[in-house]
Structure 1
């Protein structure tokens, strides 16, 4: 379970905002819940069809709905979630 976190980061606004929002979303979640949320966010970013309930479960991360139109920003949005999923 991710109980607390602290980080220092530099990067583009997409990376920084996605990191903050994702960490807030997964705080107090289990490893399997974090992996599920990462998978949903990855599907969402890559514009796969999700149910309204699945999109709602992403909380504030829905603001990245059009990041796919800027392909160079997809990696920025997914960098932190992808690495957390590996833990």
Structure 2
């Protein structure tokens, strides 16, 4: 709930020509995001609205990308997708996911699975 209630990378408005952006919206609910990123891909801003699972997963995912470095995005996306899909992860992989492990049971509610995975889809487009 902390990541849902307290913005870290979410902004109310953003306009900086030095940043590129990607927009994505859910086909099944109101979740939507415009992710802004600088050329070096080490700073991200988000205009986002949606449910608690969506917004908090976006915040945590961006926090971890910043920590691991953008060059590890594919690894993080793959591990996170495995977690959401209830696939086996060893302890080292779970450690890499850090706070994203809170979503390990999100697939019990299939309609929330998309909410949790939308941020991974955005980063796949970068």
TM-score normalized with structure 2 length? 0.65
* Residue 92 of structure 2 corresponds to residue 53 of structure 1: yes
| Cα pair 1:45 1:67 within 8 Å, conserved | yes
SS in 2 for 1:9: strand
User: 2:91 and 2:56 mapped to 1: Cα distance?
Assistant: 22
Equivalences for 1:11-30 in 2 at 5 Å? 11-27=50-66, 29-30=69-70
SS in 2 for 1:7: strand
Moved over 6 A (4+): none
Question: Structure 1 residue 2: deviation in Å?
Answer: 2.4
Pick 1 or 2: higher relative contact order, CA cutoff 8 A, min separation 6.
1
Instruction: Provide structure 2 residue ranges, at least 5 long, that are not aligned to the other structure.
Output: 1-39
Match for residue 74 of structure 1? Answer: 113
* Cα deviation digits, residues 7-44 of structure 1 (max 9, x gap): 1211010000000000000015133x111100100001
More strand by share: 2
| Cα pair 1:22 1:61 within 8 Å, conserved | yes
Give the structure with higher Rg (CA). 2
